[in-house]
Amino acid sequence: MGHDSHKLSIFRGYLKFKSNQQKIWGVLVFLSIVTTIEVFLGIVKPEILMTPFLKTKILNWIFIILTLVKAYYIAWDFMHIRDELSGLKDAIVLPLIILIPYLVFIILLEGDYIFNIMQEGFVSWNF
Amino acid sequence: MEVTATENSENESLWGGAKKPFEATYGKMMMWFFIVSDALTFSGFLVSYAFSRFKNIDSWPIADEVFNHFPFLHGVEAPMYYVALMTFILIFSSVTMVLAVDAGHHMKQSKVAFYMFLTIIGGAIFVGSQAWEWKNFIKGEYGALETRGGQILQFQNLETGKRVSLEEFAFELPTDRSTHEKSKGLWYSNESTVSEITVSEVKAGFENNEDLVIRTEKLNSFGRKTVLSRENSLAKIESASQVVQGANLVHNEYGNRLFADFFFFITGFHGFHVFSGVVINIIIFFNVLIGTYERRGHYEMVEKVGLYWHFVDLVWVFVFTFFYLV
């Protein structure tokens, strides 16, 4: 590893830092802002975001997207994926972003199906 | 082979062990292998949690009602605040870890040691917080009745809408029921301590107190727990079969039994990762202090444990979302 081989800009180059240390603090500020937004929304739960959208509330989708954003910056800047060769980057990221959504999709579909069976079936679950 | 090798000297070094794949060292690559497989393990856990939640989507406990404690604020409903604090602590200890790695690249021994020390402190505070969270969860707050079908019945005041704990209204009735011991009966069966409050005491207290109603597990269309009328509550309490106070792997007063199981399992597995991370960090910290990496000429070991530590933080980001927010 070269000593100063870090890529020092985030947000696709909109935000550039002078040193790696500055970038670390910058990412911390960004992650803290995102977490604060999450906590704020989690406490206030604005009524307008409680409407259902794609099987769950809009608020939950916002939480999930913000989580993925945080995960991206932790992996890219704290775990230095940004500085790795694209081969290693792909070898790490591709298995995860292919397998996990696939697993989530089939398991949640199954869970929803079983919920419907228990709702509409003739078996009483409250004996 | 000989021919091609002599023809192209670059190929020779490619297979001779001089060139590192992806320009990463063996140790770093293996850490990444471990992290990818561990990430899949955690997604397996979180997805199975999601499965059970989707299966019981209309009766899952509401996280804000379960995790609402904050140190030194007794009886104050403070959902989210403590777990948000834990999240900030973990993110901050991730930052000090990155700073340690960065100082390592510049071969600054004392700075690496200082930042490693802060990381260890952050990790220790986080594990302690998780233990406190578990303590509150296991102890419970209000107590509830469990029906024969395994549903949880909680109690609240009809007018104020505030939850009421069993101790507040249960009658004390005389009883000869005592804890079963091996010496007094069947030698092959065991019984944990009999709850201080019996079902009949709760029933008697409930019938006596006109203000009380039952809230069931079922969620209404606003995502809140269904509250029964006084008449329906009196009918419903007849199906109660046992008193539940606090939580364990078999019963919990918060609602669906699976909720407690997944809480213990996933946060426990994550907490175990944090604990291991703290132990590994301490080992590396002492290695930094005695100058092992200074003599080795590089601080790559700090980078490798850093990867693990950030991964633990990354997992917490997801656990936080799916247990506390969504």
Residue of B nearest to A59 (CA): B326
Higher pLDDT, B207 or A9: B207
Across B127-185, the runs of DSSP E, i.e. the strands, are 144-147, 152-157
Residues in chain A within 8 Å Cβ distance of B91: 28, 31-32, 35
Give the per-residue pLDDT at B149: 84
Rounded mean pLDDT of chain A? 86
Q: Which of residues 198-217 of B touch A (CB under 8 A)?
A: none
- Residue B2 touches chain A, beta carbons under 8 Å: no
Chain B residues in contact with A28 (beta carbon < 8 A): 91-92, 95
Q: What is the largest CA-CA distance in chain A?
A: 68
Domain ranges of chain B: 24-140+259-325, 144-245
Q: At what angle do helices B26-55 and B268-289 cross, to 10 degrees?
A: 160
Alpha-carbon distance A19 to nearest alpha carbon in chain B (angstroms):
10
Q: How far is CA A71 from CA A65, B122, B191, in A?
A: 10, 20, 46
pLDDT in tens, A77-104: 999 888 888 899 999 999 999 999 999 9
Residue A3 distance to chain B (closest CA, Å): 6
Residue B8 has a pLDDT of: 47
Q: Which residues in chain B have Cβ-Cβ distances shorter than 8 Å to A99? A: 40, 43
Residue A79 at interface with chain B, using a CB cutoff of 8 Å: yes
What pLDDT does residue B219 have? 87
* Token pair for B113: 């040691």
Residues 99-118 in B contacting A (C-alpha not used; CB under 8 Å): 99, 102, 105-106
Task: Identify the band that residue A2 occupies on the pLDDT scale cut at 50, 70 and 90.
Answer: very low
Segment of A7-11, A120-124, B123-127, B241-245 carrying the highest mean pLDDT: B123-127
Distance from CA of B120 to the nearest CA of A (A): 17
Query: Which pLDDT score, from 0 to 100, does residue B260 have?
Result: 94
**Letter for the amino acid at B103?**
A
User: Domain segments of chain A: what residues?
Assistant: 1-83, 85-127
Q: Any CB–CB contact under 8 A between A52 and chain B?
A: no
Interface of B with A in 124-163 (CB under 8 A): 147-149, 151
Strand partners, B247: B252
Cα–Cα dist B78/A46, whole Å: 18
pLDDT at B11: 55
Would you state the pLDDT for residue A127? 62
Q: Among B55, B87, B105, whose Cβ lies nearest the Cβ of A111?
A: B55
Q: Which CATH number fits domain B24-140+259-325: 1.20.120.80, 2.60.40.10, 3.20.20.80, 3.40.50.300?
A: 1.20.120.80
Q: Inspect the interface and report whether the beta carbons of A74 and B317 lie closer than 8 Å.
A: yes
pLDDT below 70 — which residues of chain B?
1-18, 75, 192-195
Instruction: Name every chain A residue with its beta carbon within 8 A of the beta carbon of B98.
Output: 24, 77-78
Rg (CA), chain A: 20
Q: Which of A70, A87, A112 sits opposite B54 (nearest CB)?
A: A112
What's the pLDDT score for residue B85? Answer: 92
